[in-house]
Amino acid sequence: MSLNGKTAIVTGSTSGIGLGVARELSRAGASLVLNSFSDREEDHALAAELAQETGNPVRYIQGDMSKGAECRALIETAGACDILVNNAGIQHVAAIDEFPTEKWDAIIAINMNSAFHTTAAALPMMRKAGWGRVIYVASAHGLTASPYKSAYVTAKHGVVGMTKVVALETAQEPITANAICPGYVYTPLVEAQIPDTMEKYGLSREDAIRDVLLQRQPSKEFSTVEQIGGIAAFLCSAAAEQITGTSISVDGGWTAL
């Protein structure tokens, strides 16, 4: 599979899942646009490093995904968008009657509203090019729920619904829309949680991972960013031309329960 000549934009892609997906698409030949809300030397250096690693063009474009105008500007500044990966997201945990309004608004804006704005801006480009792939990084929480995550669960359910709508609206065009729904994925952010979890529950590293972090993941293993990236690349392949409007769970059996 080659994505030579295709431009891929991945939101929230300077670390974690977003960077993993971006790296796989770049390795497959795509011209890549990395994105985050900051505009640091490190962001542009990361793009240069990834370009050197894969041998394909990589740019960094700043854009605050909590703001609709900046979401659309990201796509417009890129100038082309054959592959759009809506990955940007944040989290906050609290009981619904204690959930801070500003946190609710931010999570809905970044996790769900941004995907609407970027998709709306990208579809005309895809139609003009005669090909497109829209990929939403949703979550197991787009298919099921957990307590204390009202905003995140609401946003991710909304993203799964948006996936279906976009798929139906583009069903007779060479454009597909699909959601990837990971469970717990091993990222630097998750690694940083392990020592605190060990201390809080008085557990070994192995037990903290198995019995606390992966409590709801039957496989008792993390997914990897490489696996999520590989699925994104597959969805851009010819083999996936008739896969649209679906949610692909990568959760070690979580949503099979």
Confidence at residue 99, expressed as pLDDT on a 0 to 100 scale: 98
Confidence at residue 228, expressed as pLDDT on a 0 to 100 scale: 98
Assign residue 224 a region (left: φ > 0; alpha: ψ between -120 and 50; beta: otherwise). beta
Confidence at residue 70, expressed as pLDDT on a 0 to 100 scale: 98
- In the block, which residue shows the tokens 């497109």? 132
Confidence at residue 62, expressed as pLDDT on a 0 to 100 scale: 98
Local confidence pLDDT in tens for the 257 residues of the chain:
799 999 999 999 999 999 999 999 999 999 999 999 999 999 999 999 999 999 999 999 999 999 999 999 999 999 999 999 999 999 999 999 999 999 999 999 999 999 999 999 999 999 999 999 999 999 999 999 999 999 999 999 999 999 999 999 999 999 999 999 999 999 998 999 999 999 999 999 999 999 999 999 999 999 999 999 999 999 999 999 999 999 999 999 999 98
Whole-prediction pTM: 0.97
Angle at 184 between CA 29 and CA 168, to 5 degrees: 60
Confidence at residue 224, expressed as pLDDT on a 0 to 100 scale: 98
Crossing angle between the packed helical segments 68-78 and 114-129, to the nearest 10 degrees:
30
Cα Rg of the chain (Å, integer): 18
CATH superfamily name and code, 7-184+223-252: NAD(P)-binding Rossmann-like Domain (3.40.50.720)
Confidence at residue 67, expressed as pLDDT on a 0 to 100 scale: 98
Confidence at residue 124, expressed as pLDDT on a 0 to 100 scale: 98
Confidence at residue 218, expressed as pLDDT on a 0 to 100 scale: 98
Confidence at residue 190, expressed as pLDDT on a 0 to 100 scale: 93
- Residue 163 to residue 74: CA distance in whole angstroms: 20
Confidence at residue 55, expressed as pLDDT on a 0 to 100 scale: 98
Kindly list the distances between the CA atom of residue 178 and the CA atoms of 35, 56, 160, 248, in Å, as whole numbers in the listed order.
20, 25, 8, 8
Closest CA to 117 of 180, 73, 163: 73
Closest CA to 137 of 36, 253, 15, 11: 11
Confidence at residue 22, expressed as pLDDT on a 0 to 100 scale: 98
- Residue 111 to residue 151: CA distance in whole angstroms: 9
Structural domain spans, the chain: 7-184+223-252, 187-221
Q: What residues are annotated to the active site?
A: 152
Confidence at residue 167, expressed as pLDDT on a 0 to 100 scale: 99
Confidence at residue 162, expressed as pLDDT on a 0 to 100 scale: 98
Confidence at residue 24, expressed as pLDDT on a 0 to 100 scale: 98
- Residue 177 to residue 169: CA distance in whole angstroms: 10
